[in-house]
Structures are given as structure tokens and as C-alpha cells.
């Protein structure tokens, strides 16, 4: 197993804690009804990884800025991420998030959806503070970056849900990579890197290498997530095991299985995917998982994640070539092995 140093985990925790305080400052603690604030605070109080704000803050520091300059942006990232999670859990009807019942299972679907909307609105408040801290020009640029990211993310989510609804079985790894660029990478890694570098460098940065690094890093993250969904511990990973198979998600693992399976196995998989979710029994799910192992689909995805991570390591050198060595720069570099070694 690839190891991740305790120093790195301590630094991640430190960035996460700083961002958590900032995030909570943008959630109203008075004057708003508990029907909104209580569910909105629920996920924020659970211990998430805090990757997105940490990446944004560390990149800003690495490029010469101070964490306080990027704090509203980092908070907006976490608020928007949490909003996406709430709605994602409703769309997938997931049972668990971070080891506890999902928001809609606790508060009901309607209040959960509204809380997700509220979290996105709170993110707008955080972004608005950029004008005061960074000036109108840079704040406007960050707004444009968020605008582009948000459009990519909701489009990616729509594509994934559409593939499931239409029972699409004709997809390739290209389709999958394009999907995860939209639905995951842009808001998880690409945007945090881009806005962190913009703020830290006062806009004097070439963002193209950052996009390359961000995509490889985010893809490694997503593929690892797909693997953890199948093989991770329920207690540590915090979601219901085999949830992606139950939902019929078109992960890289499933696409590999569809390509590698014998004709009879493929027929069985396609029959399974054509079922309504409620018809998918635990036995049927276990059989699909066994096929994924038998056909090397899980191993393929694990190697794919490692391959992408190797590319990310090379892309990091390019994106941070002119950035002097510092603890923040090292932290960002160490995110690469972390993405494929993490168990939650």
C-alpha cells in the first residue's frame, strides 16, 4: 500500500479546520429558520476530507499569497461541494454519507433539497466577499471561473443520470473520462488549483498546465472513489458498499466489465442494468461485483488510477515549475499519492 505521511495528514487537517471555521461564518446563525439552518449545517458538521478548500489554500500559498486571501473562495468551494452532495444523495437515494444517514433520510426529501439550495446561496455570499478582499477585477475573474465550473458540474451530473435512465451500455473509457472531467474534476481539483494560483500570483500565472494537473489529479480521485465504493470499508469509507452497482453507475469498472465479459456474462450485466433499481437484489449485485473481480475490472481501474496519478506527478512538475519549494508546494505534490492511497 502506498503510504501517506502523517505530516501530510496533519497539514490537510489544519487546512480543513481553517476552512471549516470560514465556511460556518457564511452560514447564518440567527435570523434564518431552523428548518433551513439545521439541515444545512448537518453535513458541514460531519468530518469530510476537506480536499477542495485545502487544495485552494495551499495552491494560493505556494504561489505567494496568504491563506486569508483565498479563504472566502475556499469556503465557497466547500459550501458548493456540500450543496452538490445533498442533491446527489437525493438523486441517487443514497443511504449513508460520511458514515451517517443522508440528509433526505433524516429531514425528508423536500427539506434536504431546499437545504442544498441554501448551501449554494451561502456560497454566493462567500464569493461576494472577494470583491472587498481582492478587488473587483480578480473577484470578477474568480466569479467567471466558478460560473464555468458550475455549468460543467451540473452538465456532468445530468449526463451521468441520463446514462442510467437510458440504460446506456455503449460507452467507452473516453466517455467516462469526459464525464468525470465535468462532474468531478472541475470542482474538486481544477477549480481549486486555478483560483488558488490566480489569487496567490495576483493573476500572473499560466493556467493551462494547471488544468492538465487538475484533471489527472481529479481523475485519480474519482477512479479511486469508484474502487472504494466496491472494496472500501463501510465504517471508514462512510457510504453503503456496492452502492454504485445498485445505482447502475457507469463507472470505469462497469465499462471495463461490459467490454471484457464473455457474451453470456455481458448479457447478464445488460439484463441487470435494464432492471429498475428496486428490482436489483443483493444477490444480483453480489454477482455483478464477482464478475468485476473475475474479469479484472477492479484491477484495471486500480491500475488506471495509478497511471493517471503518475501523469499527475509529471503534470505537477510542469504546473509548479516556477514555484519555489515550500511546505504548501510540497503539500500539493503529496496530494498525488494520497488520491490513490486514501481509504475514505
| Stretch of 69-77, 120-128, 157-165, 291-299 lying at the interface with other proteins (CB under 8 A) | 291-299
Q: Which is nearer to other proteins, 39 or 65 (CB)?
A: 65
3-state secondary structure of 204: coil
306-333 in b/e form (b: 16+ CB < 10 A) is bebbebbbebbeebbeebeeeebbebbb
Cα separation of 311 and 122, whole Å? 36
Cα separation of 27 and 37, whole Å? 7
69 within 8 A of 60, measured Cβ to Cβ = yes
Among 45, 108, 162, 173, interactor with other proteins by CB under 8 A: 173
Neighbours of 16 (CB within 10 A): 21
Is there binding between residue 330 and other proteins (CB under 8 A)? no
Among 178, 280, 326, 330, interactor with other proteins by CB under 8 A: 178
Is there binding between residue 55 and other proteins (CB under 8 A)? no
**Burial label, 280 (beta-carbon count in 10 A; 0-12, 13-18, 19+):** middle
Q: Minimal CA–CA distance to 87: which of 34, 179, 177, 150? A: 150
**Interface mask toward other proteins for 133-172; x: CB under 8 A:** --------x--xx--x------------------------
Among 17, 206, 267, 270, interactor with other proteins by CB under 8 A: 206
Q: Judged by CB under 8 A, how many residues of this single chain contact other proteins?
A: 50
Is there binding between residue 310 and other proteins (CB under 8 A)? yes
Cα separation of 192 and 331, whole Å? 14
Q: Which is nearer to other proteins, 51 or 312 (CB)?
A: 312
C-alpha cell at 283: 444477490
Calculate the CA 309 to chain-centre distance: 16
The runs of H, that is alpha helices, within 166-251 are: 173-180, 191-201, 208-231, 234-237, 243-247
Among 204, 236, 275, 286, interactor with other proteins by CB under 8 A: 204
Is there binding between residue 17 and other proteins (CB under 8 A)? no
Q: Which is nearer to other proteins, 71 or 312 (CB)?
A: 312
Q: Which is nearer to other proteins, 1 or 278 (CB)?
A: 1
C-beta of 166: minimal distance to other proteins in Å?
22
Please give the residue ranges that form the binding site for other proteins (CB under 8 A).
1-2, 141, 144-145, 148, 173-174, 177-178, 181, 198, 203-208, 211-212, 215-216, 219-220, 293-296, 298-300, 303-314, 318, 322, 336-337, 339-341
Amino acid at each position: 500500500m502506498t503510504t501517506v505521511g502523517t505530516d501530510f495528514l496533519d497539514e490537510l487537517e489544519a487546512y480543513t479546520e481553517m476552512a471549516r471555521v470560514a465556511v460556518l461564518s457564511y452560514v447564518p446563525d440567527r435570523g434564518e429558520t431552523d428548518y433551513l439552518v439545521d439541515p444545512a449545517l448537518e453535513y458541514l458538521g460531519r468530518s469530510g476530507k476537506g480536499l477542495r478548500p485545502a487544495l485552494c489554500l495551499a495552491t494560493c500559498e505556494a504561489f505567494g499569497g496568504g491563506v486569508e486571501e483565498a479563504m472566502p473562495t475556499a469556503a465557497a468551494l466547500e459550501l458548493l461541494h456540500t450543496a452538490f452532495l445533498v442533491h446527489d444523495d437525493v438523486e441517487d437515494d443514497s443511504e449513508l454519507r460520511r458514515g451517517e444517514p443522508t440528509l433526505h433520510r433524516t429531514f425528508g426529501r423536500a427539506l434536504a433539497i431546499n437545504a442544498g439550495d441554501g448551501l449554494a446561496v451561502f456560497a454566493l455570499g462567500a464569493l461576494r466577499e472577494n470583491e472587498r478582499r481582492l478587488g473587483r477585477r480578480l473577484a470578477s475573474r474568480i466569479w467567471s471561473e466558478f460560473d464555468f465550473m458550475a455549468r460543467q458540474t451540473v452538465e456532468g451530473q445530468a449526463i451521468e443520470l441520463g446514462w442510467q435512465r437510458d440504460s446506456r451500455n455503449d460507452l467507452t473509457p473516453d466517455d467516462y473520462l469526459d464525464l468525470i472531467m465535468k462532474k468531478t474534476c472541475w470542482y474538486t481539483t481544477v477549480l481549486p488549483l486555478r483560483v488558488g494560483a490566480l489569487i496567490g500570483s495576483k493573476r500572473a500565472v499560466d493556467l493551462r498546465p494547471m488544468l492538465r494537473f487538475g484533471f489527472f489529479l481529479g481523475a485519480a480521485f474519482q477512479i479511486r472513489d469508484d474502487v472504494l465504493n466496491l472494496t472500501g470499508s463501510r465504517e471508514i469509507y462512510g457510504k453503503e458498499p456496492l452502492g454504485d452497482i445498485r445505482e447502475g453507475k457507469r463507472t470505469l469498472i462497469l465499462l471495463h466489465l461490459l467490454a471484457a465479459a464473455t457474451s453470456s456474462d455481458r448479457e447478464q450485466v445488460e439484463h441487470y442494468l435494464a432492471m429498475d433499481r428496486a428490482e436489483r437484489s443483493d444477490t444480483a449485485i453480489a454477482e455483478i461485483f464477482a464478475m468485476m473481480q473475475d474479469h479484472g475490472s477492479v484491477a484495471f481501474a486500480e491500475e488506471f488510477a495509478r497511471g493517471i496519478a503518475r501523469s499527475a506527478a509529471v503534470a505537477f512538475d510542469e504546473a509548479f515549475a516556477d514555484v519555489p519549494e515550500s511546505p504548501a508546494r510540497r503539500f500539493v505534490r503529496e496530494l498525488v499519492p494520497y488520491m490513490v492511497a486514501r481509504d475514505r
